[in-house]
Amino acid sequence: MSNEFAGKTAVISGAAGGIGFALAEALAKQGMNIVMGDIDHIALAESGRVLREQGFDVLTCALDVTDYSQWEDIVANAKEKFGNVHMVINNAGVGGTPSKIEDSEHETWRWVMDVNVMGVLYGAQACVPAIKEHGEGGWVLNVASMAGMMGMPYAGAYCASKAAVVSMTESWVAELKHFKIHTSVLCPAFVKTRIHESYRNRQQKYAVAVDKRIDKEKLEAGAKAATMAVESGIPATLLAERVVEALKSKQTYIYTHPNYRQVTTERFKAIDNAFEDAEKSAVVGHLINDEIVTF
Ligand SMILES: NC(=O)c1ccc[n+]([C@@H]2O[C@H](COP(=O)([O-])OP(=O)(O)OC[C@H]3O[C@@H](n4cnc5c(N)ncnc54)[C@H](O)[C@@H]3O)[C@@H](O)[C@H]2O)c1
């Protein structure tokens, strides 16, 4: 097979199921060597078996993305088996628990931030040097969400974590382009996976000491709504096809749900309008012609 992916190696976090597994399968079909990492060792073994049965050469490695040493191990194992590493897909993520501000559990916020934000940093930190070192170029793909492009009531932790992933990616695009490393961020709306059951992989270190949630009724209603939304989502296989298409045309922001355009249009319009207010301001309006400072 001759394409830009064939014979190259991708490390994918959260590859035992859902979006991660669909991406692993789609990129294996493009001829890539696949290294699958996941915290769920049983599901990982089964997913590895499914891909091997299709004739793909895959490596499965235990990986909790919140533990940097496990990222170092997965990169070392990937190099040992396949030689160079070309792509990292920072896909592992958790949905948290919908809750009101006053009921928010600090442990839940730390869990969501550690997996969804620090996990992405650690993945890049471990893989980018390995991609740089061979000079052939490659890819960093971070899985954010439409939730990174909009705030949602009762989902502050998840939205904040995904907005951080969008922002980190934008910073890395500029940083990595000199190394022929294409960096992109995937922002799907709902996809039919097990994201609404993320608690199944919650590590003991984030266990909630005391059940502080006050508004249980609202919590249950939120969980039910989230389940229905996820179950109405697009199939992960369709998303994976779209990602291959977008990577081939080197897109930076990868959308999978064109029907959500209005969400970003309205947000960007509101952000832009706020500048008009500042321009008219009696206090700061005179700064309009000052030079912009960047570094
Ligand atoms: N499903 C959706 O509607 C949707 C929409 C937008 C974005 N996303 C994002 O897509 C990504 C994949 O989620 P999904 O929908 O496939 O959910 P999923 O729960 O089906 O799959 C997530 C995978 O990540 C693994 N995982 C969880 N914690 C981990 C950790 N600490 N270390 C390593 N692996 C871990 C799980 O075991 C699982 O295999 C997430 O980042 C999620 O936020 C999902």
Q: What was the pLDDT predicted at 97? A: 86
Long-range Cβ contact pairs of 167-170 (< 8 A, separation 24 or more) = 168/117, 168/120, 168/121, 168/124, 168/142, 169/140, 169/142, 169/144, 169/252
Ligand 1 atom 19: residue of nearest CA: 195
pLDDT digit string, tens, across residues 197-231: 999 999 999 998 766 555 667 667 777 888 999 99
Backbone angles phi, psi at 255, to 5 degrees: -100, 145
Cα of 93 from ligand 1 centre, angstroms: 4
CA distances for 122 relative to 63, 101, 148, 242, angstroms: 12, 28, 19, 26
3-state class of 290 per DSSP? coil
Q: What was the pLDDT predicted at 211? A: 61
CA–CA separation, 255 and 231 (whole Å): 19
Ligand 1 atom with minimal separation from the 196 CA: 19
Catalytic annotation present for 206: no
CA–CA separation, 53 and 47 (whole Å): 10
CA–CA separation, 293 and 254 (whole Å): 29
Q: What was the pLDDT predicted at 210? A: 61
Cα of 183 from ligand 1 centre, angstroms: 20
Helix/strand/coil percent split, the chain, to 5: 55, 15, 30
Q: What was the pLDDT predicted at 294? A: 80
User: For the chain, what is the radius of gyration of the CA atoms?
Assistant: 20
β-bridge mates for residue 36, sequence order: 12, 60
Ligand 1 atom 6: residue of nearest CA: 145
State the number of CA atoms in the 13 A half-sphere of 99 facing the CB. 19
Ligand 1 atom 40: residue of nearest CA: 93
SS3 annotation, 170-232: HHHHHHHHHHCEEEEEEECCCECCCHHHHHHHCCHHHCCCCCCCCCHHHHHHHHHHHHHHHHC
CA–CA separation, 112 and 158 (whole Å): 7
Q: What was the pLDDT predicted at 2? A: 77
Domains of the chain from N-terminus onward: 9-259 (3.40.50.720)
CA–CA separation, 255 and 188 (whole Å): 6
Which residue in this structure is represented by tokens 């994201």?
Answer: 195
Q: What was the pLDDT predicted at 143? A: 98
Catalytic residue among 154, 158, 206, 255: 158
Which two three-digit tokens encode residue 18? 């859902």
Cα of 233 from ligand 1 centre, angstroms: 14
CA–CA separation, 3 and 30 (whole Å): 8
pLDDT digit string, tens, across residues 3-18: 999 999 999 999 999 9
pLDDT average per 10 residues of sequence, the chain (295 residues): 92 98 98 98 98 98 98 98 98 92 93 98 98 98 98 94 98 96 98 94 88 64 85 97 98 97 96 97 97 86
258 within 8 A of 43, measured Cβ to Cβ = no
235 within 8 A of 192, measured Cβ to Cβ = yes
- Those residues with Cβ within 8 angstroms of residue 248's Cβ, 6 or more apart along the chain or in another chain: 3, 4
Distance in angstroms between the alpha carbons of the first and the last residue of the chain: 43
Which residue in this structure is represented by tokens 């992933």?
Answer: 165
Q: What was the pLDDT predicted at 287? A: 97
